[in-house]
Structure 1
Amino acid sequence: MLASMVSLLRLRRSTTILLALTLSVVTFVLLANPLSPVADSAGISLSVQSTGAGPRYPLCSNQTSANVTWPSQSWRAAAESKYGGLLEDKFTIAMSTFHRPRELHRTLTALLAAKIPSLHEIVIIWNNFDEKTPDPFVSQHGVPVRYRKPTRDSLNEKLWPDPEYRTQAILLSDDDVYYRPDDLEFVFQMWRKFGKDRMTGALARCATALPSGDWDYNFCSQKAHQDVYSMVLTNLAFTHIAFLDYYFSDDPAVTKIREYVDEAFNCEDIGLNFVMSMLTGSGPLLVRGSSQYINLDPSGGISRQTGHMQARSKCLNVFAEAFQCMPLVNETGRIEHGVKHNVWYKSVWNRIHG
């Protein structure tokens, strides 16, 4: 009886050891071949996704291809040569509008009610093609306001380097968002000191490399060690007119970007960020006022459409393909007006009382 029990225990031990060895071999094979598909009992292929693969189009800073001009050491010299005669201590607001008279009136009223020392002119890009262009006028503080109707319905038209611009600094904006006047002057002065070779503005966005190799457009992470941004949106951002000039150049990559913007009716702001970083090797600059910027947040904008974030991600990948690399540069710092921290509750207060 005892002998039988000992034999049984030995058999169980041998079986356990054999099973452990088998599992070890299987585990080793799987670890050695992480991309190999594993079939389940129903015959469905369960792909084990690799997290070690880099983006399909890596950062331009890692490339040495002859068709990549990142970074261009001569950008400042070229900009000065062509646009040095324009006013450096003043700025122009280029504001796009499309059938939002209430928002346009409120934004213009706020910007023209107070004297903004460095504001030279406001140009309204009038996309109401079925309406007569309003007459130009001059505000009580002497700021000219004129309306320009584009020749075609294209988001690229907002970025057109209007030959009538008289300033190097152009504040690109939409009719539903604006800095308060005191903050706007501050942001412009920060652009002059720190941001001439950057997109400088209020709303930051991110491009993140996914395990699939694609780039993902997102609102940026607040997690530790991930607090970066690589784009500033052109619904409230200063840019040098030279960037607008290059955006409308015959560079093949930039031409493809403009064509895709027309096709998708989206992403002109992403395209301009690509151009800026490609030319300078710099990322954007986030600048916040002492008060939260005003966002009237109408319900009918492009950003409210279903699938907007996915469409923006596609733009990132189409544009990276055009350049054969990703020119966007992550930044971590920002500038804020004053010593009082601009906290979240101001946004709520402004939405209620602004």
Structure 2
Amino acid sequence: MLASMTSCLSWLQAPRFRRSTTILSALILTIVTIVLLVNPASDLKAIGHSKPVSEASGTGYPRCSDRTDANITYPLESWREAAETKFGGLIDDKFTIAMSTFHRPRELHRTLNTLLSTKIPSLHEIVVIWNNFDEKEPDSFVSEYGVVVRYRKPTRDSLNEKLWPDPKYKTKAILLSDDDVYYRPDDLEFVFQMWRNFGRDRMTGALARCASALPSGQWDYNFCSQKEHHDVYALILTNLAFTHIAFLDYYFSDDPAATKIRNYVDEAFNCEDIGLNFVASMLTGSGPLLVRASGQYVNLDPSGGISRQTGHMEARSKCLNVFADAFGCMPLVDEASAQEAAYKIFT
């Protein structure tokens, strides 16, 4: 503020204005002195800085990063130690695809055929979560390139089942996906290595979304702003996202917040992906990582699906606020889209 005030005074004291503004300059300096007396030095950082919208107060919840309670945002080092203690014995240099399907045989057939048509060095297994409850699941098989394709039929109709930390998983990295979207095989190995090097502490995937605070303090789910300097995102959708199995494990824990999230997902039949993003950011204090690879991911875009239903965005916004209430604050962390390009340059 003082710098801008000095600049203003310098402009006012230019030769053609000097004589006519002597009194005005003295008056401005007097006002500045009064302001500094009212706002002591310890509060100078607050002068001239309004609170960002993302930290708006009101009837909603502030970001967890504003809180000092250690039980809100856990240190990253503690998360890594706990994850390694529990899952250190799993394979680190390969990944598993957990693919959810529901009565879309054409999309499932195309996606599986594409992923199995060529050798993907680090792909260990594909597990198809078979939600066709009125049909028997197909038999498991091994592909031409040695990839096991296993079908798992859940015991109940719940979106949470896709996030279940299957005890049969052999890898730390799980690529969550749906039957209608996939990375091209030539890109999948690259994306996995991005996860290994930069993303194992965060959700890492192809489709990003935003969570913005309204002036009321409530949170709004949206497709993110395309305006300059607003290229941030806070969530990665789990229809194509790498996650550490430890996030899935915590999502299914007895933690009261995680339990409340799972119950609400069953009640609303929506938002399991938002819930997992909450868990990941709460545990690590880190935001997600957007990685689209060299080519665009493939989205078969079927006409059906929850996201096509009327009121979908409003329902997703409600999930943000229900989950923030569960944690007592908003754990999601904004990340800049430019980060993706930087990672590609340096790798």
Please identify the structure whose Cα radius of gyration is greater: 1
1:29-88 deviation digits (Å, cap 9, x = unpaired): xxxxxxxxxxxxxxxxxxxxxx89525200001112364243453110111111111000
Structure 2 SS opposite 1:207 = strand
TM-score of the superposed pair, with normalisation by structure 2? 0.81
Partner of 1:60: 64
Within 2, Cα distance between the matches of 1:289 and 1:224?
23
2:127 to 123, 148, 156: 123
Contact 2:56 2:213 in 1 (8 A): no
Alpha-carbon deviations, 1:74-124, whole Å to 9, x = none? 110111111111000000000000000000000001000011000000000
Q: Which residue of 1 aligns with 2:245?
A: 241
What code does the residue aligned with 1:218 have? N
CA distance in 2, matches of 1:95, 1:118: 17
* Cα shift readout 1:276-303 (whole Å, capped 9, x = no counterpart): 0000000000001111100000111110
Residue 30 of structure 2 is matched in structure 1 by none
Contact 1:98 1:128 in 2 (8 A): yes
2:201 maps to which of 177, 185, 197: 197
CA distance change for structure 1 residues 201 and 53 in 2, over 3 Å: closer, same or farther? Answer: closer
2:87 aligned residue (83, 96, 99): 83
Partner of 2:211: 207
> Where does structure 2 lack aligned partners over 5 or more consecutive residues?
1-52
Paired residue for 1:290?
294
Q: Which amino acid aligns with 2:57?
A: G
- Counterpart of 1:25? none
Q: Distance in 2 between matches of 1:304 and 1:69?
A: 34
Secondary structure at the counterpart of residue 72 of structure 2: coil
Measure the CA separation in 2 of the matches of 1:267 and 1:131: 26
- Residue 221 of structure 1 is matched in structure 2 by 225
Amino acid at match of 2:189: E
Does the Cα contact within 8 Å between 1:91 and 1:119 map onto a contact in 2? yes
Checking the alignment, whether the CA contact within 8 Å between 1:70 and 1:327 is kept in structure 2 is no
Give 1:324's match in structure 2, choosing from 310, 321, 328: 328
User: 2:284 matched to 1:274?
Assistant: no
Alignment partner of 2:340 out of 335, 350, 353: 335
Within-5 A mapping of 1:1-354: 54=57, 56-65=60-69, 67-332=71-336, 333-335=338-340
The one-letter code of the counterpart of 1:76 is: R
Partner of 2:324: helix, strand, or coil?
Answer: helix
Where in structure 1 are there 5+ consecutive unaligned residues?
Answer: 1-50, 340-354
After TM superposition, give the deviation of residue 334 of structure 1 in Å: 3.7
Secondary structure at the aligned position of 2:317 is classed as helix
CA drift of 1:264 comes to 0.2
Q: Distance between the aligned counterparts of 1:255 and 1:182, measured in 2?
A: 38
Quick one: distance in 2 between partners of 1:79 and 1:240?
Answer: 9
1:150-181 Cα shifts (integer Å, max 9, x gaps): 11100000000000000000000000000000
Q: Which AA in structure 2 matches 1:92?
A: T
Superposed CA RMSD in Å reads 1.5
Could you say which residue in structure 1 is the equivalent of 2:41?
A: none
